[in-house]
Amino acid sequence: MIEFLVQHSIYVVLVIALVIWTGVFFYLFRLDRKLAELERIVAEKEKDERNES
């Protein structure tokens, strides 16, 4: 196993980079969804406040 990793170290680096980029993508995707939900809530509250005035 160690020999494979030493001989194919570029693949190990590529897999690690892929895992990191996948994690960044999912984090940003979740953050975008949460922000969209917050924007929707704020827009509804502003709409309600305008209707009450």
At 4-53, the pLDDT tens digits run: 878 999 999 999 999 999 999 999 999 999 999 999 999 999 998 888 76
Contact 43, 50 (CB under 8 A): no
Say what the pLDDT of residue 37 is.
97
Say what the pLDDT of residue 53 is.
65
Q: Does the reported pTM lie above 0.75?
A: no
Q: What is 21-44 written as a DSSP string?
A: HHHHHHHHHHHHHHHHHHHHHHHH
